[in-house]
Amino acid sequence: MLIKNNRISIDDIIDECKNFYFAGQETTSSLLGWTIFLLATNKEWQEKARKEVAESFGQKVPNADGLSSLKIMNMILDESLRLYPPVPFIKRKVELTLPPKMLIYISPLAVQHDHKIWGEHVHVFKPDRFAEGVVKATNNNPVAFLPFGYGPQTCLGLNFAMIEAKISLSMILQRYMFTTSPTYVH
């Protein structure tokens, strides 16, 4: 953002908001696509989510109060992010032990599929592993769950993306049931 004379113009703010919104479009749509796929192949979780949405909103438009009570939805989204993180790698510049300016690529996919952390059913869709939160799901190693990065460089859009995904998925579940084609091969 270019600041002129120590002032931020309304156009600058609008541009920053647009940037923030559009930057997350691809990753949020990836999250929703994989979540719908996982729910289509796991009907019991699709029905649990639909029931929770119906209890929270009925056929009304989702609201902030109801979104915060969607425990099953949170578990489903976290498990979708674990199995299919929308960002294939996280790049960091190392200035400490390794040579300066060295770039390190961290693969959330590899970490989130480590059977030592996630157990023998690491490749199975099991949203209930998040029933008691990320720390319990990762066997007290929350750094093993990286769909939005971790620490001071965690994605700024984390909360926005999760709210957007919850609203979208709630509205989809209110209106549709989905299944995979009998000829689909994963």
Predicted confidence (pLDDT) per residue in 49-84, tens digit: 999 999 999 999 999 889 999 999 999 999 999 999
Q: How confident is the model at residue 3 (pLDDT cuts 50, 70, 90)?
A: low
Could you tell me the CA-to-CA distances from 10 to 17, 20, 150, 154 in Å, in that order?
11, 15, 32, 27
Identify whether 147 is part of a domain: yes
Identify whether 1 is part of a domain: no
65-68, long-range: CB within 8 Å, 24+ apart, which pairs?
Answer: 66/170, 67/163, 67/166, 67/167, 67/170
Identify whether 185 is part of a domain: no
* pLDDT over threshold 60, residue 150: yes
| 17 marked among binding-site residues | no
Highest-pLDDT range among 3-12, 44-53, 56-65, 83-92: 44-53
CATH of the domain at 57: 1.10.630.10
Identify whether 180 is part of a domain: no
Q: How confident is the model at residue 4 (pLDDT cuts 50, 70, 90)?
A: low
Domains held by the chain: number: 1
Structure confidence at residue 88 (pLDDT): 77
